[in-house]
Chains A and B, each alone.
Chain A
Amino acid sequence: AQSVAQPEDQVNVAEGNPLTVKCTYSVSGNPYLFWYVQYPNRGLQFLLKYITGDNLVKGSYGFEAEFNKSQTSFHLKKPSALVSDSALYFCAVSPTGNTPLVFGKGTRLSVIA
């Protein structure tokens, strides 16, 4: 069965520093990978996705993610964190097209001024 692990419940980073939010997955076949962000009491907002092609995917708000097949990882990165990036981040995977996503438990990012 497919699964997603976000090993860190909380990530703290100083404003202006680079940030990384980790995600590893387990799925048979070629995965479809997604990152979403959630602000308090709001729905999830789509950030980026990997379907095929370049391993480095660029998304909204300056975020990017690197797909690493050998390490089964899809870490979210940003070169310079903003206080407004503070939110809950979810990684999700689908093993095939048009099947429901499986979500990780989320990582809370706190960017400190």
Chain B
Amino acid sequence: DGGITQSPKYLFRKEGQNVTLSCEQNLNHDAMYWYRQDPGQGLRLIYYSQIVNDFQKGDIAEGYSVSREKKESFPLTVTSAQKNPTAFYLCASSQIDKGQGQETQYFGPGTRLLVL
């Protein structure tokens, strides 16, 4: 988990409320990712960003939004449009390989979001 921090560890959301999950990395990585983990479903990609001020939707982007104003930060907002937000959210980062390789993604410790 070293180098990537996520906060808070637990987050409670009320109906109709937007909440923001923090992800910060000090690894100087270009790319950052958000995944959602549900029991028995593995990890599903929400959004990713390969450069500051640019990001792409993943497989399950509906009801979520992100920003990438700084290289080290990639916050995720869970909006009220996300009707089933209870899950474990994982942030990851990786360096962009200028050759043909695939750089390893490193993960933060996760945030567990619960609905009140």
Contact = CB atoms under 8 A, between A and B. Distances in A.
B31 interface: yes
Interface residues of B, number: 33
Contacts of B97: 97-98
Interface in A20-66: 32, 34, 36, 41-46, 49, 51
A63 B103 CA distance: 20
Interface range for A:
20 to 34
Contacts of A97: 97, 99-103
B90 interface: yes
Interface in B82-116: 88, 90, 92, 96-97, 99-110, 112
A105 B38 CA distance: 10
B78 to A, nearest CB: 18
B42 A44 contact: no
Interface of B: 1, 4, 6, 31, 33, 35, 40-45, 48, 50, 58, 88, 90, 92, 96-97, 99-110, 112
